[in-house]
Amino acid sequence: MVITKTTIQLLIFTFFFYITSSFADNPTYNVETLGATSDGDTDCTKAFSSAWAAACATTEPATIYVPSGRFLIENVNFSGKLCKNKAITFRIDGTLVAPSDYNVIGSSDTWLKFDRVAGVSIYGGMIDGRGTDLWACKNSGKSCPKGATSLAFYNSNNITINGLYSLNSQMFHINIDNCHNVNLLNMKISAPANSPNTDGIHVQQSSEVVLMNSHIGTGDDCVSIGPGASNLWIENLACGPGHGISIGSLGWSLEEAGVQNVTVKTATFTGTQNGLRLKTWARPSNGFVKDVVFQHVVMVNVRYPIIIDQNYCPDHKNCPSQESGVRVSDIKYEDIHGTSATKVAVKFDCSKTYPCNGITLTEVNLTFKDKPATSSCANAGGMADGTGVVQPTSCL
């Protein structure tokens, strides 16, 4: 190698870069150093709370490190109330495991709870809610605790979760409630098809939420979208088993925030109960759903691939007028194809008082047993785009 002036400059630069970057190393709090034991049996809750308190005491970006191994944790509240830090990263190589007795966390809303935090990131790791015994209790008809959501962010901003694996939550896996700017990337979520109420990701009262490159197989909705969700972007999702993506149930309350600007782009549903569902209670409400785009979706043997159900009223209880007040408008379905497990692959059952409007179907091709499926409409307005295939034939 010829030593040129440039090489020397480069070496000097590299040297100084190395020195400055090592001085700039941010504090790292290793939960093992703080007393956690990775045997899966010793309660490590205190060590995690201490790590959080230490990271919160500084204003410098800080890392909480969880080495490989299994760390037993009871309920933790990672609260932003006394937290000075706006850049805390969890780097997780190991697994956080819930107590084996479901009663320990089963009556609290959340197992791993973040409240009023800003700038929290979680990279890697696995959380194991150990829900199996609780589901068995629920499925046996005995009285059991409701179950805890595994991981939730409430009232928080600027959150990133990348590469987390959630296994066997008691109730929902992940809940995003009243948050702004949330990125959920490369997620894996898994629970058996018959596990009750194990929604994958629930989003409500939140804006600028992105879910990308994720695989969700669970016992309830892969993604459920509640009141007040806006600017939600879902891309590259594999869903199944599960109940699909559901906007709703909405419209339980008279006064309710609407859902708007939701995009689902590139998704595959395999053997799921629903594909793309919008569901509202048949009750008076001032809620609404508008500006939704479903694009590039593959259905593989899905029971109800495309469905709007505004007459949701299980057991015909609590629905005085039997009509939904939720206004549904501007819902686009583009390039949706594959197979339906029932004959009616497209069903729009809208409110009599507030018919759906602005539904559009473009390049839709869904088959049932190798034949064109059928569609059914009630109080649904919109159009099928004449330039592409629309099969089943639109009833709009």
Residues serving a catalytic function are 243
Give me the least distance between CB of 112 and ligand NAG, in Å please: 10
Distance CA 311, CA 191 (A): 29
Q: Which residue has the tokens 């008279």?
A: 254
Q: Residue 109, interface with ligand NAG (CB under 6 A)? A: yes
Q: Which of 76, 120, 171, 189 binds ligand NAG (CB under 6 A)?
A: 76
Q: Which of 80, 94, 106, 119 binds ligand NAG (CB under 6 A)?
A: 119
Give me the least distance between CB of 180 and ligand NAG, in Å please: 8
Whichever of 31 and 76 has its CB closer to ligand NAG, that residue is 76
Distance CA 392, CA 396 (A): 11
CB atoms within 10 A of CB 111: 27
Q: Residue 158, interface with ligand NAG (CB under 6 A)? A: yes
Q: How many residues bind ligand NAG (CB under 6 A)?
A: 20
Q: Residue 391, interface with ligand NAG (CB under 6 A)? A: yes
Give me the least distance between CB of 344 and ligand NAG, in Å please: 17
240 to 279, contacts with ligand NAG by CB under 6 A? 261, 263
Please provide the DSSP assignment of 262-283 as one string.
Answer: EEEEEEEEES-SEEEEEEEESS
Amino acid in position 54: A
- Structural contact between residues 189 and 199, judged by C-beta atoms closer than 8 angstroms: no
- From 24-32, 105-113, 144-152, 243-251, give the range in contact with ligand NAG by CB under 6 A: 105-113
- Structural contact between residues 235 and 265, judged by C-beta atoms closer than 8 angstroms: yes
Whichever of 29 and 52 has its CB closer to ligand NAG, that residue is 52
Give me the least distance between CB of 261 and ligand NAG, in Å please: 4
Q: Which secondary-structure segment (H or E) carries 137?
A: helix 132-139
Q: Residue 389, interface with ligand NAG (CB under 6 A)? A: yes
Q: Which of 28, 185, 188, 233 binds ligand NAG (CB under 6 A)?
A: 233
Amino acid in position 313: C
- Structural contact between residues 151 and 125, judged by C-beta atoms closer than 8 angstroms: no
Q: Residue 108, interface with ligand NAG (CB under 6 A)? A: yes
Q: Please report, for residues 114, 150, 190, the alpha-carbon distance to residue 110 in angstroms, rounded to integers and kept in the order given.
A: 9, 6, 18
Burial status of residue 206 (CB atoms within 10 A of its CB: 0-12, 13-18, 19 or more): buried
Q: Which secondary-structure segment (H or E) carries 11?
A: helix 5-23
Q: Which of 178, 270, 357, 365 binds ligand NAG (CB under 6 A)?
A: 365
Per CB under 6 A, residues contacting ligand NAG are 75-77, 86, 108-109, 113, 118-119, 157-158, 181, 231, 233, 261, 263, 365, 367, 389, 391
